[in-house]
């Protein structure tokens, strides 16, 4: 293919690849031609091809795996969970407008399983918040969050439709969320979740249990979030311990949730 004069070559290649992807010539998760193949096709250097691919990656049109190549990202945008983020930050990085519908904001007795997590006495009053989480107005997840009264009473229920627990505590009360512990399992949608998330009953869901902590290791809240499996996947990058070639340890380098837009 002959490139035009007067227009940066990498920009032309970016536009050509984008057009091919939008036209369906390259399918979701399909590997693109290699840098060498593209360089030969357009008669340019690999540096030029790399710049073109970087542009597509920054737009979340493709994703790249070191040593494997570039792949079509199926309209999904990645965020890095090595840095602790909240739902609104995740949605913003995915190019989606986040909002929430607060279904419940009530005071309940802490069950025995929760008392140990939040380091409180069984039966202690806690705040439970149930929210339907939306991306561009479409259901993405449903979560239930439990907070000790100390933190729960600080939250503005009305503002939770547009902001997050993280944001309210950090900006209004200087209570930072500094650490989160996650556990991921698979679940199926019961009648209520199916109705809320607009999926068929017994559809597969991704359940994330998370405990968030502030300074001093104090647990601020425990949360169960059910993600629609057609809206999010998780990708993990592991790095072999290069200091010890005989080691089989694979330390976590990057842990990325990938959200799919409509």
pLDDT tens digits, 160-197: 998 899 889 998 999 988 888 888 889 999 999 999 99
pLDDT tens sequence across 110-128: 988 898 889 888 889 999 9
How far is it, in rounded angstroms, from Cα 150 to Cα 163?
19
Do the beta carbons of residue 179 and residue 215 sit within 8 Å? Answer: no
pTM across the whole model = 0.63
pLDDT band for position 80 (cuts 50, 70, 90)? very low
CB 225 within 8 A of CB 211: no
Q: Rounded to an integer, what distance in angstroms lies between the CA atom of residue 225 and that of residue 208?
A: 5
Share of the chain above pLDDT 90, in %: 44
Least confident of 45-54, 82-91, 98-107, 240-249: 240-249
User: Are 185 and 207 spatial neighbours (Cβ–Cβ below 8 Å)?
Assistant: yes
Residues 207 and 185: their CA atoms lie apart, in Å, by 5
Q: What is the mean pLDDT of the segment spanning 19-30?
A: 86
The average confidence (pLDDT) of the chain is: 83
Confidence of residue 257 (pLDDT cuts 50, 70, 90): low
Can you list the positions of beta strands (E) in the chain?
62-65, 69-72, 76-78, 98-109, 125-135, 138-148, 179-188, 204-213, 219-228, 232-238, 252-260
pLDDT over 80 at 133, yes or no? yes
Pick the range with the lowest mean pLDDT from 11-15, 56-60, 135-139: 56-60
Asked if residue 81 has pLDDT above 50, the reply is no
pLDDT exceeds cutoff 70 at 67 = no
Please give the Cα distance from 246 to 221 (Å, whole number).
Answer: 41
Q: Is 41 helix (H, G, I), strand (E, B) or coil?
A: helix
CB atoms inside a 10 Å sphere around CB 141: 25
**How confident is the model at residue 60, as a pLDDT?**
74
Between residues 69 and 81, the one the model is more confident about: 69
Task: Name the least confident of 2-11, 72-81, 222-231.
Answer: 72-81
Residue 16 to residues 1, 58, 203, 234, 254, Cα–Cα distance (Å): 10, 16, 38, 29, 30
Lowest mean pLDDT among 19-23, 129-133, 236-240: 236-240
């Amino acid at each position: 293919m002959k490139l035009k004069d007067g227009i940066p070559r990498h920009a032309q290649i970016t536009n050509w690849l984008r057009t091919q992807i939008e036209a369906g010539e390259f399918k979701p998760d399909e590997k693109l031609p290699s840098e060498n193949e593209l360089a030969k096709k357009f008669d340019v250097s690999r540096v030029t091809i790399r710049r073109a691919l970087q542009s597509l990656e920054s737009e979340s049109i493709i994703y790249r795996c070191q040593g494997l190549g570039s792949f079509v990202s199926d309209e999904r945008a990645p965020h890095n969970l090595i840095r602790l983020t909240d739902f609104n930050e995740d949605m913003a990085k995915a190019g989606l407008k986040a909002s929430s519908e607060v279904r419940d904001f009530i005071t309940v007795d802490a069950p025995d399983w929760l008392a140990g997590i939040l380091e409180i006495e069984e039966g202690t009053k806690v705040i439970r918040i149930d929210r339907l989480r939306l991306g561009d107005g479409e259901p993405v997840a449903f979560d239930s969050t439990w907070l000790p009264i100390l933190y729960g009473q600080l939250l503005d229920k009305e503002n939770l439709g547009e902001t997050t627990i993280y944001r309210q505590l950090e900006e209004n009360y200087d209570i930072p969320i500094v650490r989160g512990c996650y556990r991921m399992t698979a679940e199926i949608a019961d009648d209520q979740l199916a109705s809320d998330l607009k999926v068929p009953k017994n559809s597969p869901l991704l359940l994330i249990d998370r405990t968030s902590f502030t300074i001093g290791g104090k647990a601020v809240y425990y949360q169960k979030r059910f993600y629609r499996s057609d809206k999010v996947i998780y990708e993990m990058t592991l790095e072999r311990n290069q200091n010890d070639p005989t080691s089989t340890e694979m330390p976590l380098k990057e842990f990325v949730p990938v959200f799919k837009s409509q």
